[in-house]
Structure formats: structure tokens, C-alpha cells
Structure 1
């Protein structure tokens, strides 16, 4: 399959997906703020998740922590890397709890499942229990990354999607797909309608970190990159409408 650079949307058939994982950056929860959670923005994302749930999909979520604390930034400022990464993992738990509240206020049962045990606020990660939650129609929000420093939430999302036997990973970003450079600073940036894992790694396209892409490639997990501000949201993307990029095998 060749890589194309076109404005025409790639068709994604909704019936082919029963279980998906949605990766959302922590920064996406800030809205117009410079830090923290913006409740209307969180509510808007929760509504999209509930809309997918109402279509009959089994849904996993992984949310980053960059709106509160980013481990790499802490490390760059002199903090010991492992400590900084653990602080970033705790930030993802805070975001997961906020999203859980927003989703459950709309009538959908949700479980926050943490890779770092903290039984008073969420469940520990046990794969078979998480699968059972999905089978019962509950949304599972996986928090605290992989539970290990030096791994991003992108890698955690790919890992959990593979463990949960998800059929696709949806990555919500601030742009409507994958470009060969930052479209916010380069008006001539070329957009990919679809692209292979190998090209993403070879050309260092800013989709996810290399470990996440390699893991997705090894498990043949398709990645759909879309804008969280896309009209119609996630339900439209699942109908093959709107703009997005499909990352898949060559």
C-alpha cells in the first residue's frame, strides 16, 4: 500500500470496530487555560465518549498528564528523571478521575484502573478484571502509564490497547492528522491520508514516540490520528467522515 498525501478522508467502517482505545493528551483537557482541567472541555470530550458507548463500542481511555506535570520537562529542569516520571504518572491519575466524573455524570459506568496501586481512589491494573469491565459495558480509563519511568503515555496506550485486544487506537490531537512538519508553523506542511508505521519511524513523523509506533507495528494495531475539535467528533470519524490519518502496515 502506498502512502498518499491527499485531502480526501479515508473510509473507516464503524461496524468493523467493537473495542477501541482512545488516547487523549493532557493538554487537550486545558481548553483555553494554561494549566489544569477546563471543565467544559472535559465535558465535551466525555460527551463524545458517551456517544461512542451508545453506539455499542467497548471503550478504553488513556489520558496524558501534560496539563499538570510532564516528567521530561521536570527532568530537563534538573529533577531526577525517575522521580519526575512518577510525578507525571500521578498527574494522569488526576486527569482520569476528572474524566471518570464527567462520563459517569452522563450515565455511563466507568472504572479508573491504575498501573500504580492506590486502592482508595481507583482499581489496580489486573488485565482479566479490566476485560470483564469492558464486556459489561463499562468504560475503562487506564492511568499511571505503564507504571514504569522512561515510558510515555503513548507507549502505555499502545500497550493497553494490545493487552485489551482493541481493534484500533484513536489518538486525539490538536491537528487533523499526520503531517511531515508542524502545520501550525509551516503552512506548506504535507498531510498524510494514510501512512505506514515504517514511514513514521523512518521520517520521524510526530505521531507517537518510536517505542509506541514499534509496538503498534509488531501487533498490527491501526492508529487513527484525528483532531479533538473535528466537527461531529469521534462518532463522525468512526463513520469514515471528517479528516484523519490512518497509520497501518505497509
Structure 2
């Protein structure tokens, strides 16, 4: 890459990240300031709503920072995983509960019984699932359906949304760096990190069509050898 091209890409990256970080930070500051300024005039329900919204924005800010750090670690081969036998159910339940806090969209979850433990860094697994469920909410239409089921020597996480789906001709590009499709929002790094984390665990991720319209993303996560 020529020096001028690299400088332009770096400048675009800084501008994009600044925009993405500013939005949740503004939300946190605004709601906290409102609670402080109007504490005696707000009902307990209003206080809870404002503080919950601030927490959602703070979580988004934390995810963006983690995402940027993981991009650097993936690119330099310095990603560290703290893998251990992990119950696949509670993590996805927590992820769905957290994403539900930030949307009025219905997110349903069906976890099969008697699932084997998987070999995972729990924090990274939660990061992958949060990104995929959140994408289903933000870029799809209608409800989001999450299912977890055993699959050979793996556990399959399936995330489905209603909408236009992802055209087959661009699916090979979805997990590359900077890919946004025809959307202007986002950093274009989230799915790149998702693909990198899944591959680092020895898993796989595929994109398909949801019957009736929409996207279907399947993540196959290896079971624990212990």
C-alpha cells in the first residue's frame, strides 16, 4: 500500500472510530447529567430508565473499544484466549437479555437441553454472540430468533433475522475488514473480529437464508475435549 493510501485509510479510520465512540459517550453523559440535575423531580421509574439507557450506551462503548483492540491483536497474531470448558447456555441467555435492554424488537431464544460443554474463552464467546445478535436487530427487520443445538462434535448457535438477508455474491466479503455492505453505520470491523475469534477457537461460521426472507448465521463451536 502506498504511503498516501495508508495515510488516507488511517484518517478515515480515525474519523469513523471517533464518530462511533462519540454517540454512546454522548448518551451516557446526557442521561447521567439529566439524572443529576433533576434527581428530586424524577420518579423512580424515570431514574431507572435513564440509568439503564446509560448502562446500555456504556456497554456499547466498551464493546467498541474491545473490538478495536482485538483487531490489532488479530492483525499482529497476538490474540490471547483463555479457553476452558464452558456451558453454552448461560452465556447466550445473558447476551440476549442484554441486547433486549436496548431494543423494542422481539428476540426469542431456544436452547436445547443436555448440551455438551464447549471449548471457549467465555468473554470472547459473549463478544461473538453479542455482535451477531445486535447485528440481527440493527440490520434486519422484524423479530430475531436465536437457537442453540448440538451438532456432531460442536454446538451450533443460529441467529436469524427477518429482512432482505445478505446476497450470496457478497457473503465471502462479510467477514473481511471494513466491510459494511450498503450501510454507512458501524466501523466495518465487528464481523471481521467475529470471524477471527471463531476461527481462533477452531470453529466455523456460515451465512445462509432464513426461510421466508432474512439472514441466517450459523456458528459451529467445538465441544470441550475434557
For this structure pair, what is the TM-score category when the shorter chain's length is used for normalisation?
A: under 0.3
Higher normalized contact order (CA 8 Å, seq sep 6+, divided by chain length): 1
Q: Which of the two has higher C-alpha Rg?
A: 2
Per the normalisation by structure 1, the TM-score is 0.25
